[in-house]
């Protein structure tokens, strides 16, 4: 169980507790989704101590609702009323207390004021790593979310036409995913030469690529796929097609080098070297990839400054791109995991894997 692993890690670090608010970590450690409880000015805290005991600090008037959540049955409940200082209602805390990176500053300040004998600090690398390596159950959810997203993009591609607006393409993807399952959907179809579009609602021209950057979630676990597409009737300039092929080759060559034991910063170097030889490295302006799981972007990252070492269960995006403003934008993004044999496997391999060409996403 995640809370048990957290307790053991706290013990190994000689720490007394870990504290977080509603978000990805409460879903991981206590099965409380932000779909049911959001960050608020009224503190709702999850505390896990070194014995793996779970304590929930809740507003008193919300106590009944909070108890209906799927929090472990042996959790202890501490309530506070509106005229009280919330953290003062907790038992005395001493020693090192780790707080999640997403926690409100006023919560941290309150903990430090109420518990002066405690050392309240940001979560350690060891605790952060507990969420980084995914179980087989987590990987199944990630596969399903990523496969559904790719299938939705492929379906949308077949129903697009020259002059379709970005909003129309977005609606096609969203409706397709809504028919598959109860997903949260974020999709940004864009035709201009910017990494994430320009916020306009342009029509697709015959010489335009259509760049789809789509995320969906299933039971809290996310997909993240970007395809750069052309339609059968498109007349894409040869130089733009050449750039697409360079990005495609950069993605493929990078994927072939990924395995357990390699440093994340070295993975980031591979596509840059390829694009440098092609003359386009200066237009690849972001890191190669990010971790993915209960958050679309989470640790570890594939960037030039990362000392992280790839391990089994790690999940990442692989997303090289070339962005020449005012001319062309190409990004290919697919997510993968590190399998037990140490090799990389695309999360959407079961439905075809990465694009073969701008016409075959």
CATH number of the domain to which 74 belongs? 3.40.350.10
Q: 98, 131, 164: which is the final residue of a domain?
A: 131
Burial bucket for residue 73 (CB in 10 Å: 0-12, 13-18, 19+):
exposed
Structural domains of the chain, count:
2
**167: domain CATH number?**
3.90.230.10
- In angstroms, rounded to a whole number, what is the distance separating the alpha carbons of residues 63 and 82? 13
Q: Is residue 99 part of a domain?
A: yes
Give the largest CA-CA distance in the chain.
Answer: 69
Residues 127 and 153 in one domain: no
Residues 127 and 192 in one domain: no
Residues 229 and 331 in one domain: yes
Instruction: Report the pLDDT value the prediction gives residue 194, as an integer from 0 to 100.
Output: 62
Q: Is residue 361 part of a domain?
A: no
- pLDDT tens digit sequence for 162-214: 999 999 999 998 888 887 664 566 777 787 666 666 667 899 999 999 999 99
Pairwise pLDDT comparison (91 vs 39), residue with the higher score: 91
The dihedral sign for the CA sequence 89, 94, 100, 102: positive
The structure's pTM equals 0.94
Range from 53-67, 70-84, 197-211 carrying the lowest mean pLDDT: 197-211
Cβ-defined contacts of 154-157 (< 8 Å, 24+): 154/352, 154/361, 156/212, 157/227, 157/229, 157/231, 157/361
Cα radius of gyration (the chain): 23
Helix axes 136-159, 166-180, angle to 10 degrees: 130
143 close to 353: Cβ distance less than 8 angstroms: no
- pLDDT tens digit sequence for 226-239: 999 999 999 999 99
Instruction: Report the pLDDT value the prediction gives residue 198, as an integer from 0 to 100.
Output: 60
- pLDDT tens digit sequence for 116-155: 999 999 999 999 999 999 999 999 999 999 999 999 999 9
Residue 143, both tokens = 């596969």
Helix or strand or coil: residue 319? coil
209 close to 330: Cβ distance less than 8 angstroms: yes
- In angstroms, rounded to a whole number, what is the distance separating the alpha carbons of residues 348 and 118? 46
Buried b (16+ CB within 10 A) or exposed e, 321-348: bbbeeeebbbbbbbbbbbeeeeebbbbb
Q: 106, 131, 156: which is the final residue of a domain?
A: 131
224 close to 186: Cβ distance less than 8 angstroms: no
Q: Is residue 10 part of a domain?
A: yes
Q: How many residues does the chain have?
A: 361
Instruction: Report the pLDDT value the prediction gives residue 192, as an integer from 0 to 100.
Output: 65
The dihedral sign for the CA sequence 86, 90, 95, 96: negative
Residues 148 and 51 in one domain: no
Q: 97, 131, 165: which is the final residue of a domain?
A: 131
Instruction: Report the pLDDT value the prediction gives residue 184, as an integer from 0 to 100.
Output: 66
16, 133, 160, 293, 336 from 313: Cα distances, Å: 28, 4, 37, 11, 10
- What is the pLDDT averaged over residues 299-303? 98
92 secondary structure, DSSP code: P
315, 331, 341 from 258: Cα distances, Å: 12, 19, 12
- In angstroms, rounded to a whole number, what is the distance separating the alpha carbons of residues 361 and 230? 9
**Alpha helix ranges (H) inside the chain:** 2-12, 24-30, 63-67, 105-114, 125-132, 136-159, 166-180, 238-257, 264-278
Domain range for 245 is 136-351
Q: Is residue 81 part of a domain?
A: yes
């Amino acid at each position: 169980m995640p809370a048990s692993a957290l307790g053991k890690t706290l013990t190994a670090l000689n720490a007394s507790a870990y504290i977080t608010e509603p978000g990805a970590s409460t879903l991981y450690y206590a099965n409380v989704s932000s779909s049911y409880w959001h960050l608020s000015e009224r503190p709702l805290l999850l505390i896990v101590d070194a014995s793996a005991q779970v304590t929930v600090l809740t507003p008193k008037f919300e106590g009944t609702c909070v108890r209906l959540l799927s929090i472990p049955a042996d959790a202890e409940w501490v309530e506070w009323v509106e005229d009280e200082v919330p953290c003062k209602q907790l038992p005395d805390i001493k020693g090192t207390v780790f707080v999640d990176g997403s926690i409100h500053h006023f919560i941290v300040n309150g903990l430090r004021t109420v518990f002066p004998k405690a050392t309240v600090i940001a979560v350690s690398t060891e605790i952060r790593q507990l969420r980084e390596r995914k179980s087989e159950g987590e990987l199944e959810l990630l596969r399903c979310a990523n496969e559904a997203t790719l299938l939705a993009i492929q379906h949308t591609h077949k129903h697009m036409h020259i002059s379709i607006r970005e909003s129309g393409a977005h609606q096609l993807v969203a409706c397709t995913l809504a028919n598959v399952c109860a997903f949260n959907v974020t999709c940004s179809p864009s035709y201009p030469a910017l990494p994430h579009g320009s916020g306009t609602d342009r029509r697709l021209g015959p010489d335009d690529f259509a760049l789809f950057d789509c995320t969906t979630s299933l039971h809290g676990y996310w997909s993240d796929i970007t395809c750069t597409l052309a339609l059968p009737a498109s007349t894409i300039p040869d130089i733009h097609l050449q750039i697409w092929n360079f990005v495609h080759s950069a993605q493929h060559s990078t994927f072939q080098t990924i395995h357990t034991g390699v440093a994340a910063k070295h993975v980031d170097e591979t596509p840059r070297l390829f694009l440098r030889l092609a003359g386009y490295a200066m237009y690849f302006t972001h890191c190669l990839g990010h971790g993915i799981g209960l958050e679309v972007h989470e640790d570890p990252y594939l960037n030039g400054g990362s000392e992280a070492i790839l391990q089994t269960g790690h999940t990442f995006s692989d997303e090289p791109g070339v962005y020449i403003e005012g001319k062309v934008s190409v990004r290919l993004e697919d997510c993968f995991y590190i399998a037990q044999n140490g090799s990389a496997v695309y999360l959407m391999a079961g439905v075809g894997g990465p694009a073969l060409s701008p016409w075959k996403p």
